Homo-oligomer: A and B are copies of this chain.
Amino acid sequence: MTALQPPRPAGVARVVAAARSVVERDGLAALTMQSVAAEMGIRAPSLYKHVAGRHAIEVELVADALGEAGAALHAALDEAAPPPAAIAALLDAYRRHALANPDMYRLATTGPLPRRELPAGLEDWAGAPFLAVTGDAHLARALWSFAHGMVILELDGRFPEASDLDATWAAGATTFARAHMDRRNG
């Protein structure tokens, strides 16, 4: 199952592709109308012939980022063991994907979400693996919060230099796995 992305007009697609190149090569801060235009070999005002403005470009990138993150998580679940172990697998996939695409991750998860402007259902679909692996909406959200907190704090360099983050992730995984088992039993 894959997220349903409404097809983009060719012009929009070209702009979004250029924007993504800029973000991945030079970082989020470098995403300007001028840099995107330069990437395409045109001038900034010409971009407005294809997209409504900078915000619209960002929304498209967020949609892509959510779609890809969701795909990574769904894929991780497909291969994974039954629930208790699946939690660790999901967390691992989450971390890997985020660290491999730091700027896209930040873009997709930082600041108010333009929910109105995103494809319907995309958000739920991307988050579904957390529900699948915990079997409980609250535990799912808590697990997602933990994962997001870990990733964003790591990306922002907020943990002390010498932190052994592998171990921290492991601690979180066993903590939530235990909660899951406890919930199942009694």
**Taking CB as reference atom, which chain B residue is nearest A163?**
B141
From 158 to 186 in chain A, residues with beta carbon under 8 angstroms from any chain B beta carbon are: 158-160, 163-165, 167-168, 170-172, 174-176, 178-179, 182
Interface size class of A (residues with CB under 8 A): 35 or more
What are 10 residue pairs bridging A and B, where the CB atoms are less than 8 Å apart in the complex?
Answer: A110-B110, A115-B157, A136-B171, A138-B170, A142-B172, A145-B153, A149-B150, A175-B175, A175-B179, A179-B179
The residues of B that contact A164 with a CB separation of less than 8 Å are: 138
The residues of B that contact A174 with a CB separation of less than 8 Å are: 179
- Most-contacted residue by chain B among A160, A163, A170 (CB, 10 A): A160
- B142, B149, B165: the one contacting A168 at CB < 8 Å is B142
- B113, B145, B182: the one contacting A178 at CB < 8 Å is B182
The residues of B that contact A142 with a CB separation of less than 8 Å are: 146, 150, 168, 171-172, 175
Q: A138-B168, A175-B179, A179-B175 are in contact. Are A149 and B144 (CB under 8 A)?
A: yes
Asked if A112 is at the interface of the complex by the 8 Å CB criterion, the answer is yes
Asked if A147 is at the interface of the complex by the 8 Å CB criterion, the answer is yes
Contact B172 A145 (CB under 8 A): yes
Nearest-neighbour CB distance to chain B for A111, whole angstroms, equals 6
The 0/1 profile, CB within 8 Å of B marked 1, for residues 117-153 of chain A is 0000001100000000000101101101111111011
Contact A113 B157 (CB under 8 A): yes
**Taking CB as reference atom, which chain B residue is nearest A176?**
B175
Roughly how many angstroms separate A171 CA and B137 CA in the complex, as a whole number? 10
Asked if A109 is at the interface of the complex by the 8 Å CB criterion, the answer is yes
**Taking CB as reference atom, which chain B residue is nearest A29?**
B111
Asked if A78 is at the interface of the complex by the 8 Å CB criterion, the answer is no
